[in-house]
Amino acid sequence: MITAVSHFTANLVKQEMKPAIDIRVIYNGIDHHMFTPKIQNHKNQSKNINVLFCGKLTRRKGAHWLVPIAERLGQGINILYTSGLQPTGMFLNHPQLRCIGSIPYQQMPDVYQDADMLLFPTVREGFGLAAAEAMACGLPVVATDCSSLPELIDNGKGGFLCPIGDVEAFAEKITFLAENPGLRREMGEYNRAKIEKMFTLDRMVGEYQQLFEEVLSKRP
């Protein structure tokens, strides 16, 4: 039996390796009890908007587009970015970019909860854990329309999907969400509900257990 964490990944395997058996897609699961929306969400609308970029500072994650995106954002919209667990040497210099360092996994829910939206300009994702974690925390997501991300993010409902490397589109959607707190809240609630329905750890474990039992039952 072959499994994959997204239909995108499954299709890649089918195209490149042409396996003789089917591929079972079992989406990764998020600990939705750990990653939760902020309880108190009555934010001061006059405060700065915090856009979170979470991941390694690599070209595959789209980190080289952060400065061009920041250059197109109005005052009061800041991009907070993690440095990742392994330094890459990439230097980002812009007054609206702020590095928050390397964050331990246990502290990530707090980081998501302090943000207003997630920016995910990645080039390629097998699944997209950061996007799913942000969704579980009730954030809208502005991401690349590529690879597995359309399976996670419903364009126009849970956020916006932009063409790869289109910094104008990313900046436009970020600005639109920054100016519409009600829409941010609606999209965040939509994303939280989608995680609870499709991307929980319990669902993932249950599907793997069912798969193991199915495979073992066929043994001679």
pLDDT category of residue 107 using cuts at 50, 70 and 90:
very high
How crowded is residue 79: how many other Cβ atoms within 10 Å of its Cβ?
Answer: 22
Same domain, 60 and 1: no
Q: How far apart are the first and last CA of the chain?
A: 16
Same domain, 78 and 7: no
What is the per-residue pLDDT across 130-166, written as a single tens digit (0 to 9) for each? 999 999 999 999 999 999 999 999 999 999 999 999 9
Ranges of beta strands (E only) in 38-126 are 49-53, 77-82, 97-101, 117-120
pTM score > 0.85 for this model?
yes
Same domain, 92 and 58: yes
Question: Do residues 73 and 171 make contact, with C-beta atoms less than 8 angstroms apart?
Answer: yes
Q: At residue 180, does pLDDT exceed 50?
A: yes
Same domain, 4 and 56: no
Alpha helices in the chain, H assignment, sequence order: 7-17, 66-71, 108-113, 129-136, 149-152, 167-178, 181-198, 201-217
Same domain, 121 and 145: yes
- CB burial of residue 213 (10 Å; 0-12, 13-18, 19+): exposed
Residue 87's pLDDT is what?
63
Question: Do residues 191 and 139 make contact, with C-beta atoms less than 8 angstroms apart?
Answer: yes
The CATH number linked to 113 is: 3.40.50.2000
Domains identified in the chain, total number: 2
Same domain, 189 and 87: yes
Same domain, 39 and 82: yes
Domain range for 220 = 1-29+200-220
